[in-house]
C-alpha cells in the first residue's frame, strides 16, 4: 500500500476548513488541522456572513460563483440556514451601471441567473428608506444570501471529520523544523509531522509564515460592525446593501438585515489601508468611537428613511489583507512544501470554497481551474522580496 501524504493545515477558520473538507475526500491524503483556539475562533465567527457574486471582473465572479454553489450544496440537509434575501450593490455613476450590465452577462456565463440591473426608481421600490439622489441605480443578486460564519465553519469541520480528517483544537503552532523528510511541527498541544503544510492562519498568517520559514507580508486590519435598531418593523424582504463599487477605492457603508427591525452595518473596503494591528493584542469586543461616528454619518446620509435608528452593540474583527489586497493561494515561492491559503480580507466567507479548491488542486499536482499561475492569487508575486516587511524584532507583522 502506498503511504498517504501527510498534509497539516494551520488554522481552523473557514479557509483552512474548506481546504480540509475538500482535500479529505481524497484517500491519498491524511489531513490534520491545527487550530490555536477552537473552530471558527478567528475572523470567521466575526463576519457579517454575506455571500454574493455582484462583481464586475470575470475572475472575481468565477471564484464567488463557485463559493455560492459549494455553500448552497453543503447547506442542504444541514442546520446551516442560508437567508436568501438578495444583495444590492449601488452604482456610484452611470459608468458603473454600464459595468453592472456586463456583470449580469458574465454572471450568467458562470451559472448565476438571478442578477439584474435596477434603475433608481426600482431601487427605491425595493428599499423605501434609501437616498438615491447621488446614485445611478444598482446591481441586485436576487439569489445571494447571508449565513452565520461560525456555523458554516463548524459544518465544514464536521464534513472533514467524517471524511477522516483530524482536527486538533487548542494546538497553536509555535515552531517548525524542516528535515529531509518534511516538517516537524511543535504546538501547544503536541508534536506533528507533515509532508506539506498549508498556511491558513488568517490574520496570523504573517507570524505562521515566519514560523514555517515561508514569509508572507500579511496585514491584520481592524474592522468593525454594529447592530442598528429601528422601533418600526421594516416591511417586506430587504436585501443586504453595499454602497461600494469594487476597484473604486475608499470605503462604503453596508447593511444586512438581522431580524425584522434590526440590521448589522459596517464600512467596507477592499483596499488595504496600510495599517495593521497585532492580532493577539487588539481588543475585539467593541467598535471604536471614531468608527461609530463615521458609520452614523454614513447611515443617516444613505438611509434617511429609518429616522428612529439607534446604534446598538458593536464588535470588531480582523481582515487578513495582503499588500495588494488579493489573496495569496498556492505554493510559497521560496518553500514549495508550504501552500499559502491566506489574505482573503473582507471576503473570506464567500471566497473560502474557491481558495480551498485551488489549494487542493495544487496539492494534487493538477492545473488549478480558477486561480492558478498568473491569476490574481498567484503566490509568485510575493517572491519580490522587497514586498516583505523587514521590521525590527518585536515589531508587528
Ligand X SMILES: Cc1cc2nc3c(=O)[nH]c(=O)nc-3n(C[C@H](O)[C@H](O)[C@H](O)COP(=O)(O)OP(=O)(O)OC[C@H]3O[C@@H](n4cnc5c(N)ncnc54)[C@H](O)[C@@H]3O)c2cc1C
| CA 219 to chain CA centroid, nearest Å | 14
The least distance separating ligand X from the CB of residue 181, rounded to whole angstroms, comes to 22
SS3 of residue 151 by DSSP:
helix
* 36-39 CB contacts, 8 Å cutoff, 24+ apart: 36/170, 36/171, 36/172, 36/173, 36/188, 36/204, 37/169, 37/170, 37/172, 38/12, 38/169, 38/170, 39/12, 39/153, 39/154, 39/157, 39/167, 39/169
The least distance separating ligand X from the CB of residue 203, rounded to whole angstroms, comes to 6
Nearer Cβ to ligand X, position 47 or 230?
47
Residue 30 zone, left/alpha/beta (φ > 0; ψ -120 to 50; rest): beta
Residues lying near ligand X in the complex (CB under 6 A): 10-16, 34-37, 41-44, 46-50, 149, 172-173, 200-204, 208, 223, 225, 266, 317-320, 344-350
Nearer Cβ to ligand X, position 127 or 359?
359
Nearer Cβ to ligand X, position 25 or 189?
189
Query: What is the pairing mode between strands 166-168 and 29-34?
Result: parallel
Nearer Cβ to ligand X, position 200 or 234?
200
Nearer Cβ to ligand X, position 230 or 316?
316
Distance CA 295, CA 289 (A): 10
The least distance separating ligand X from the CB of residue 330, rounded to whole angstroms, comes to 15
Please give the backbone phi and psi of residue 74, each rounded to the nearest 5 degrees, phi first.
Answer: -75, -20
Query: What is the pairing mode between strands 240-242 and 5-10?
Result: unpaired
The least distance separating ligand X from the CB of residue 133, rounded to whole angstroms, comes to 27
Nearer Cβ to ligand X, position 97 or 325?
325
Q: Alpha helix (H) ranges present in 204-320?
A: 205-211, 289-302
Residue 268: closest CA among 237, 238, 291:
291
The least distance separating ligand X from the CB of residue 236, rounded to whole angstroms, comes to 22
The least distance separating ligand X from the CB of residue 158, rounded to whole angstroms, comes to 16
Nearer Cβ to ligand X, position 317 or 331?
317
The least distance separating ligand X from the CB of residue 208, rounded to whole angstroms, comes to 5
Amino acid at each position: 500500500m502506498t503511504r498517504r501524504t501527510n498534509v497539516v493545515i494551520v488554522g481552523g477558520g473557514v479557509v483552512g476548513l474548506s481546504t480540509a473538507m475538500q482535500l479529505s475526500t481524497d484517500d491519498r491524503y491524511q489531513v490534520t488541522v491545527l487550530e490555536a483556539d477552537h473552530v471558527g475562533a478567528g475572523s470567521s465567527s466575526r463576519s457579517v456572513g454575506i455571500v454574493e457574486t455582484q462583481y464586475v471582473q470575470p475572475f472575481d465572479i468565477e471564484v464567488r460563483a463557485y463559493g455560492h454553489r459549494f455553500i448552497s450544496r453543503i447547506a442542504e440537509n444541514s442546520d446551516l440556514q442560508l437567508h436568501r434575501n438578495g444583495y444590492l450593490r449601488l452604482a456610484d455613476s452611470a459608468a458603473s451601471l454600464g459595468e453592472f450590465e456586463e456583470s449580469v452577462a458574465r454572471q450568467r456565463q458562470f451559472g448565476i441567473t438571478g442578477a439584474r440591473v435596477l434603475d433608481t426608481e426600482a431601487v427605491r421600490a425595493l428599499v423605501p428608506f434609501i437616498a438615491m439622489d447621488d446614485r445611478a441605480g444598482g446591481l441586485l443578486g436576487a439569489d445571494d444570501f447571508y449565513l452565520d460564519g461560525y456555523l458554516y465553519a463548524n459544518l465544514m469541520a464536521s464534513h472533514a471529520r467524517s471524511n477522516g480528517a483530524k482536527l486538533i483544537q487548542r494546538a497553536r503552532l509555535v515552531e517548525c523544523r524542516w528535515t529531509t523528510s518534511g516538517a516537524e511541527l511543535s504546538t501547544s498541544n503536541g508534536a506533528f509531522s507533515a509532508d506539506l503544510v498549508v498556511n491558513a492562519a488568517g490574520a496570523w498568517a504573517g507570524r505562521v509564515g515566519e514560523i514555517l520559514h515561508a514569509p508572507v507580508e500579511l496585514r491584520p486590519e481592524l474592522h468593525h460592525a454594529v447592530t442598528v435598531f429601528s422601533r418600526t418593523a421594516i416591511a417586506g424582504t430587504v436585501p443586504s446593501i453595499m454602497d461600494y463599487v469594487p476597484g473604486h477605492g475608499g470605503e462604503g457603508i453596508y447593511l444586512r438585515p438581522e431580524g425584522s427591525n434590526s440590521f448589522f452595518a459596517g464600512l467596507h473596503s477592499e483596499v488595504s489601508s496600510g495599517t495593521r494591528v497585532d492580532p493577539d493584542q487588539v481588543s475585539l469586543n467593541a467598535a471604536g468611537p471614531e468608527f461609530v461616528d463615521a458609520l452614523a454619518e454614513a447611515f443617516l446620509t444613505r438611509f434617511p428613511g429609518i429616522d428612529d435608528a439607534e446604534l446598538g452593540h458593536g464588535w470588531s474583527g480582523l481582515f487578513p489583507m495582503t499588500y495588494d489586497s488579493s489573496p495569496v493561494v498556492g505554493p510559497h515561492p521560496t518553500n514549495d512544501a508550504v501552500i499559502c491559503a491566506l489574505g482573503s480580507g473582507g471576503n473570506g466567507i464567500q471566497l473560502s470554497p474557491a481558495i480551498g479548491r485551488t489549494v487542493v488542486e495544487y496539492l494534487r499536482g493538477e492545473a488549478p481551474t480558477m486561480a492558478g499561475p498568473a491569476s490574481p492569487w498567484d503566490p509568485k508575486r510575493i517572491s519580490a522580496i522587497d514586498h516583505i516587511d523587514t521590521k525590527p524584532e518585536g515589531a508587528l507583522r
